[in-house]
Chain A
Amino acid sequence: NAGVTQTPKFRVLKTGQSMTLLCAQDMNHEYMYWYRQDPGMGLRLIHYSVGEGTTAKGEVPDGYNVSRLKKQNFLLGLESAAPSQTSVYFCASSYSLEGSGWTGELFFGEGSRLTVL
């Protein structure tokens, strides 16, 4: 059981280049999230999805796009990378909140470290 897997783990881009981060989860979770983590800023939500085919903006969505074509995958795209997007990106997933018993547990991947020069 792999949990949440992110690829790639490391990437260096030049300003203006594009790339896609892939997140895959094997827990059949409905909800998926992309966060970025920067020193002194904590984790900030970029985009999220509450089900296959649905996406929504989080706190810091500018410069990013996402897609959730399959329930197990959540893709984060950077169309034209900027140095301000240098960060560690975390994907997370959670089971549906319908009903009771949600503990607030998000299951995180190990992160993707992106440097934009």
Chain B
Amino acid sequence: QKEVEQDPGPLSVPEGAIVSLNCTYSNSAFQYFMWYRQYSRKGPELLMYTYSSGNKEDGRFTAQVDKSSKYISLFIRDSQPSDSATYLCATPTNGNTGKLIFGQGTTLQVKP
């Protein structure tokens, strides 16, 4: 079992829909979580990060962590065609090296 699991999709939604992207993780010691966005044929870019439990909002994006169920979510409100990309959740491994464990990534398509 991978330490971070993510449904690869693809997920297709109409423009304006609310999108929910999810990951589960296995190690309760993980406390810091990130969402990266990767456009086709590009490298991933950091979208949001959140620490421990709770919500973090940035414009149309909300990141949520539920430590009790080891569940990470990214919500996109009023989705746009420009949001079409692969979204990867990630968390640092143990140690002070910046190594990240990534989920498999969920491919999202927002149709006009």
Contacts and interface: CB of A to CB of B under 8 A. Distances in A.
B103 to A, nearest CB: 6
Contacts, number: 67
A40 B45 CA distance: 19
Contacts of A40: 8, 104
Interface in B85-102: 88, 90, 92, 96-100, 102
A106 B98 CA distance: 8
Nearest to A32: B98
Contact of A42 (B46, B99, B104): B104
B99 to A, nearest CB: 6
A97 interface: yes
A90 interface: yes
Interface in B36-52: 41-46, 49
B92 A104 contact: yes
Q: Is the interface of B mostly helix, strand, loop or mixed?
A: loop
Interface of B: 2, 6, 8, 32, 34, 41-46, 49, 88, 90, 92, 96-100, 102-105
Given A94-B98, A104-B32, 18 more contacts: A4-B43, A33-B98, A33-B99, A40-B8, A42-B104, A43-B102, A48-B98, A50-B97, A90-B44, A97-B96, A98-B96, A102-B98, A103-B34, A104-B34, A104-B90, A108-B44, A110-B42, A111-B41
